Amino acid sequence: MKKHEKLFLISSLLMLAIAIVIFVNIVFSKKHLSGNIPPQQQTASNCITPSQAINDEGNGQSECVQFAVGSTYVSSAGNAYLDENSDSSNYGFIVWMPSSDSFGSSATSQYANQQVDVTGNITQYDGAPEIQVTDPSQITLAN
């Protein structure tokens, strides 16, 4: 290989490396600016929103999420569910409460159409963020 061919190859590889660095920088800065990585917004009660909970799924940390309960449901097994969405065919943020005497029979009715704060580990259920509540103290009416 001649000297000018080597120089051409080296300069081409250098330009390619610079282009890759610029491309990666643009992609990550646009992703942040477009809202795909939202800043942590706190509610009045210092909880995060359901849309932010999606980003925190499975992080292993306990979070407080504030949302308006759009619908409630009690399964045949007695498990109670609070859903952010009123449309049961499309889950929003979900709270799952196991069948238990500690929640009482009115667990869903007391939270229906209310703004609530729920604290617990965020997991996923059918593609929606969920907190499994095992103690009534994990759910409070928002101020």
pLDDT digits (tens, 9 = 90+) for 76-127: 888 888 988 877 666 788 899 988 667 766 777 888 889 999 999 998 887 7
Do residue 19 and residue 57 come from a single domain? no
Do residue 126 and residue 105 come from a single domain? yes
Provide the H-helix boundaries in the chain: 3-33, 50-56
Beta bridge partners of 125: 128
Do residue 65 and residue 30 come from a single domain? no
Q: Can you give the pLDDT at residue 55?
A: 74
Q: Can you give the pLDDT at residue 31?
A: 41
Average pLDDT of the residues in 127-132: 86
Domain of residue 4: give its range: 1-37
Q: Can you give the pLDDT at residue 58?
A: 61
Do residue 89 and residue 127 come from a single domain? yes
Higher pLDDT, 34 or 96: 96
Do residue 115 and residue 68 come from a single domain? yes
How confident is residue 132, by pLDDT bands cut at 50, 70 and 90?
very high
Report yes or no on 45 lying in a domain. no
Do residue 17 and residue 62 come from a single domain? no
| 85 phi/psi in degrees, rounded to 5 | -90, 145
* Number of structural domains the chain divides into: 2
Average pLDDT of the residues in 18-44: 55
Report yes or no on 29 lying in a domain. yes
Q: Can you give the pLDDT at residue 89?
A: 65
Do residue 54 and residue 10 come from a single domain? no
Nearest in space to 63 (alpha carbons), one of 46, 80, 79, 84? 46
